[in-house]
Amino acid sequence: MNFPHLVGGGVLHTKFWLVDRKHFYVGSANMDWRSLTQVKEMGVAVYNCSCLAADIGKMFDVYWYLGQKGAQVPPRWPEKYSTLYGKENPMNLTFNNSNTLTYLSSSPPTFCPKGRTVDLDAVLDVIGHAEKFIYVAVMDYYPLTLYTPKIRFWPQIDDALRAAAIEQKVKVRLLVSEWNQTRPSLPYFLRSLTDLTGAYPWVDIKVKYFRVPSTPAQAKIPFARVNHNKYMVTDNAAYVGDYFTNTGGVGIVIRDPMTNFLPVDSGDSEAEDKKDIRDQLEAVFERDWNSAYAHHTMG
């Protein structure tokens, strides 16, 4: 796919596998030996769900169409690429014996046919509907467009987190990677968030840096030994995704329904596997946040 020709820049950064339009994986892992053995990743694997797999299949069809020689983004996508499911009309599905409201988002916006929620809108929607907490785990956190000819201020997500902490009185936690490629500017942007803590009694924003340990031999592997995941979990939703603007990405949003989850027998040996996905993601975040690899300062 010729991204400079299609949208003026960017790359196909999406990572998903689709099998028989019935099973799929979507997440942060690149398909190379480093990503699968030397990098900490996060993904969602969905089995025996032809309805959701068919929807992600439409995303692959968009990519396949745009991968043709000389292809251009159409001014209006044909109806066969459109979807009925998005943030306003999620699928009502059962995952791991739990009722969920689920949809897939995509970027860049020009790759989104009718009905498809844009990744950024999905992220902002999840932030905006949090009631108690927002946990974010990312490799990099910069309110900038870094991979463009000119660095530009890009505050949409940063502003949404500030608004959630101040207006919704939501606890915010950011777990950001510290690795060989971390820019010196990172702590400045993060401090501008954490410095809001205490501005009002309820404002609570904290940041930790996650370091993946390395042996001397591992430290020599380029672009490795990093927490590469990109996900967010709140008290009522989970998001696993990728990039937002000119770069190709796919996200999955899994929201709690208005009704309670189906009960899980705590004595069942498979109870952990049956926990809803939001609970699982929250547990992963808290494990990493409280681990020996998470630090309040860089260095």
Residues carrying an active site annotation: 13, 15, 20, 228
* Alpha-helical runs (H) found in the chain: 3-7, 33-37, 50-66, 119-128, 156-167, 186-194, 216-219, 271-274, 277-289
Q: What is the amino acid identity at position 22?
A: K
* Coil vs helix vs strand at 214: coil
Write the CB contacts of 23 (distance below 8 Å, at least 6 apart in sequence): 45, 46, 47, 48, 49, 53
Task: Give, in degrees to the nearest 5, the angle at Cα 28 between 144 and 188.
Answer: 30
- Cα 279 to its chain centre, rounded Å, is 16
Measured between alpha carbons, how far is 222 from 73 in angstroms, rounded to an integer? 35
Distance of CA 175 to the CA centre of its chain: 13
Cβ contact 139:210 at 8 Å = no
> 171-177 and 133-138 as β-strands: parallel, antiparallel, unpaired?
parallel
Q: What gap in Å lies between CA 141 and CA 147, rounded to an integer?
A: 13
Interatomic CA distance for residues 240 and 229, integer angstroms: 8
Question: Tokens representing 129?
Answer: 């509907």
Q: Look at residues 66, 114, 51 and name the one whose alpha carbon lies nearest to residue 88.
A: 114
Omega before residue 263 within 30° of 0, cis: no
- Relative to beta strand 98-107, strand 117-118 is parallel
